[in-house]
Amino acid sequence: MYIPSIIQFLLNKNNKFLLFFLLPTIFYSQSDVDKILKGGEIIVNGLAILKTKKSDSESKTVNNKVVATICVKNKLAEKIAVKFSGKDEAGVAVIKEMVIQNDGKECVFEIPKGIYTYEIVLSNKEVFQKGEYKFEDEITITVKKD
């Protein structure tokens, strides 16, 4: 078994005093455990951030046939009902309805891109506005008196 010459010198009977004081300084660690753990934590968090940014960009490019969110804000004095109806690429009817309180906001998530007819109905069942809109990107529609 190989023992370095310094340790052999310290293991002599006459050098026990030196062995007691010098051995801890020879084997002293250069960095604390806390510093090592903090460094590992920084590396892991950095890799996690890179991974989430990569996955977010991938999901935006893959799902180009769907609009992520369509929001409607109600700036009228009463609640309204909003109905969107249209068709996706396969010809399947898509109907989304929502009730929005006054000074409120509601959103529809992941609706297929396309042309939709919309109808805004007041609480007294009167049609406030009706028309068509082409949804291609995320949008927030504000309903207010002209």
pTM higher than 0.85: no
Do 131 and 118 touch, CB atoms closer than 8 A? yes
CATH of domain 66-143: 2.60.40.10
Please write the tens of the pLDDT for every residue from 50-82. Answer: 766 555 555 554 567 888 889 999 999 999 999
Strand partners, 143: 74
Distance CA 53, CA 23 (A): 49
Amino acid at 33: V
Q: Which two tokens stand for residue 13?
A: 């009977």
